[in-house]
Amino acid sequence: MIIWDVRKVARYKVFLLMRFAWFVVQVSVFAVLISYLVAIRPSTASGISYYEYYLFGAYTALLFSISMFRGYEIAEEFEEGIIEYQLSLPVRRRILAIGRTIGGGIASFIYTLPMMLFILIMLRISNPLLIAIAMISALAFSIGIVGLAINIVFGLKSGDKTDILFGVVDALLVRLSTIFYPLPFLSTIPAYFYAALVNPLSSLADFLRALFLFEDLKAFLYLSQEQMISYIAGLAIGLSVLAMLFIERKAEGGGWR
């Protein structure tokens, strides 16, 4: 089941190229100009600017969007009847569900790997241990988000409603997180602050920042690295299990409806 999803990555070469192209535009135009526009300077010692802060936010937002899209695609496959074929395989439903969630997560992570490498090269980061930790955390996050997407799709059972909710969830979660702005600057609006604090996107973006730029950004990090990684792992496990339960109970031959 995992291979089923991972193999599809190779089919989406143009998709991947375009995603990479707009990521490059995002970090070479938008991020540069926004960086000059903001007044905050995380550290004076190392010359780190808002630009470096934003890079990991941009990566997290991209990974989130692609993972949501993958989850939606998996559900669409079910709607198109592929579930009939998959249910006929000598595989238990539980394995099918967990395989598709993990497979979707791995595929999303592979899609965004060029972007992560691009950022690491830009920041001249070469520590293999830290890079491995970053990759594992991004993979766990991606699996969790694919699980979330599958839960939404099976919960709503409507293509149109899912489309809309995905758009709204994407807009709200990205804006109500620390993707664009450090947590302390959200404290002026308490509702936004607490929403950003429990937002999984904040956890991954801040964890990656802490992993590579801790000394420069520690003033902006509210939770400890242990708390953030526990949250990401909990999210991945919790949402995958939930997706598994949904698929076990709701997927039937004749369409997932």
Give the dihedral sign, CA 131/132/137/143. positive
CA distances from 107 to 35, 172, 219 (A): 31, 24, 34
Minimum CB separation from another protein for residue 249, in Å?
26
What is the identity of the amino acid at 179? I
Helix axes 93-122 and 50-79, enclosed angle (nearest 10): 150
Nearest to 142 by CA among 6, 1, 4: 6
Contact between 125 and 212 under an 8 Å Cβ cutoff? The reply is yes
Nearer of residues 93 and 175 to another protein, judged by Cβ: 175
Give me the least distance between CB of 33 and another protein, in Å please: 4
Number of C-beta neighbours around residue 86 at 10 A:
20
Residues that bind another protein (CB under 8 A): 12, 14-15, 18-19, 21-22, 25-26, 29-30, 32-34, 36-40, 50, 160-161, 163-165, 167-168, 170-172, 175-176, 180-182, 185-186, 188-189, 192
Nearer to another protein, 105 or 182 (CB): 182
CB nearer another protein, residue 81 or residue 167: 167
To another protein, the closest distance from the beta carbon of 15 in angstroms equals: 5
Are residues 62 and 19 in contact, defined by beta-carbon separation less than 8 angstroms? yes
Instruction: Pick the closer one to another protein by CB: 14 or 45.
Output: 14
Q: 10 vs 129, which CB is nearer to another protein?
A: 10
CB of 141 to another protein, least distance (A): 21
At closest approach, how far in Å is the CB of 181 from another protein?
5
- Tell how far CA 26 is from the center of its chain: 17
State the minimum distance, in angstroms, from the CB of residue 66 to another protein.
Answer: 11
Q: Would you tell me how many other CB atoms lie within 10 Å of the CB of residue 248?
A: 14
Name every residue whose Cβ is closer than 8 Å to that of residue 6 and which is 6 or more positions away in sequence.
103, 106, 107, 110
Least separation, in Å, of the C-beta of 196 and another protein?
9
Q: Residue 9 is which amino acid?
A: V
Whether the CB-CB separation of 34 and 50 falls below 8 Å is answered with yes
Minimum CB distance to another protein smaller for 72 or for 154: 72
Nearer to another protein, 15 or 85 (CB): 15
